[in-house]
Amino acid sequence: MLAEDFKTIKGKVYKDATISRVEVDGIVLRTKTGISKVYFIELPKDVQERFHPSPPKTVPAQREREPIKLKGWAAAMANPTASVIFFVAGTIIIGGVVFAIVRSRLQRQATMRTKSK
């Protein structure tokens, strides 16, 4: 990149500066004395416009977006009725498993008692 002089609106001059990078809020300059960041508000309007383009004049206030189409489980869970049914079914299955485990342990204890007598 070519070296050039940059002068801020307060009069500070950056001699033979090369632009290291352009950021959202300013430019980073490399000179013989080091690296400096100069914010756009510190630069004259012509330099600001050169490196920091203004936003488009007409920006719609709100863009209409196409709704996201859900698939699989996400689509099922988006429906409140399906969510309740899923929850109830899960609760019944877990309850059945717990019941089966408790019942088998109680039966095992009962058979051990009758064998030890």
| Percentage above 70 pLDDT, the chain | 85
Count how many residues are written for the chain: 117
70-81 per-residue burial string, b: 16 or more CB within 10 A, e: under 16: eeeeeeeeeeee
Instruction: Tell me, yes or no, if the pTM score tops 0.75.
Output: no
The Cα 64–Cα 102 span in angstroms is: 56
According to the model, what pLDDT value does residue 69 have? Answer: 77
Q: Which stretches of the chain drop beneath a pLDDT of 50?
A: none
